Amino acid sequence: MGLIGNILWFIFGGCLMGLGWWLAGLLAAVTIVGIPFGIQNIKLALVALAPIGKTIVEK
């Protein structure tokens, strides 16, 4: 069920959301101060592409 959910999520907006987070990460990483934020945005892009079944854990 998770695979079907992720495929539907990706088709109906997950790809655009992932691309947006990825682009925001690249723009944030242009400056030295923004590099940590850029790395986190790129991690969020991976979660936005296929979120069903993933768990976000605070370290």
Q: 13-57 pLDDT, tens per residue?
A: 888 999 999 999 999 999 999 999 999 999 989 888 888 887 778
Q: Judge whether 11 lies within some domain.
A: yes
| Global confidence as pTM | 0.76
- Residue 54, in any domain of the structure: no
What tokens appear for 42 in the block? 């790129």
pLDDT at 57: 80
The one-character DSSP state at 26 is H
Q: Is residue 55 part of a domain?
A: no
Contacts of residue 46, defined as CB under 8 A and 6 or more positions apart, other chains included, come to 18
Range of the domain at 41: 2-49
> Is the residue at 56 inside a domain?
no
Rounded CA gap, 23 and 48, in Å?
13
- Find, among 13, 11, 22, 16, the residue nearest to 46 by Cα: 22
Domains in the chain: how many in total? 1
Contact present, 9 and 59 (Cβ < 8 Å): no
